[in-house]
Amino acid sequence: MSDKPHQNLAIIGHVDHGKSTMVGRLLFETGSVPEHVIEQYREEAEEKGKGGFEFAYVMDNLAEERERGVTIDIAHQEFDTDEYYFTIVDCPGHRDFVKNM
């Protein structure tokens, strides 16, 4: 844990509106996910016919999530900036999976 103030962020929204992609991109931009990992996810996504999902794969770790292209269960990740320590939670948007929160 850090001496910085702690912020919790829960990302919620409608299905297929880019929540996981946004979280993955944020983690990449803050240096929490290295570029070579994104490249691996890009290759995997393209192999599955899900080109453009590489940033979503940062949070969507279940095989079924990656196959279907939809978040099924919550995932959380921690990162920090110069000022804050964050815990970010990526929540499912599909009504069938909201109960998993």
- From first to last of the 101 residues of the chain, give the pLDDT tens digit: 569 999 999 999 998 899 999 999 999 999 999 999 999 999 999 999 999 999 999 999 999 999 998 888 899 999 999 999 999 999 988 777 777 76
Nearest to 1 by CA among 84, 64, 65, 74: 84
Kindly report the pTM of this predicted structure.
Answer: 0.88
Those residues with Cβ within 8 angstroms of residue 60's Cβ, 6 or more apart along the chain or in another chain: 20, 53, 66, 71, 75, 90
**Domain parsing of the chain, residue ranges:** 6-100
pLDDT at position 1 is 58
Domain 6-100 has CATH 3.40.50.300: yes
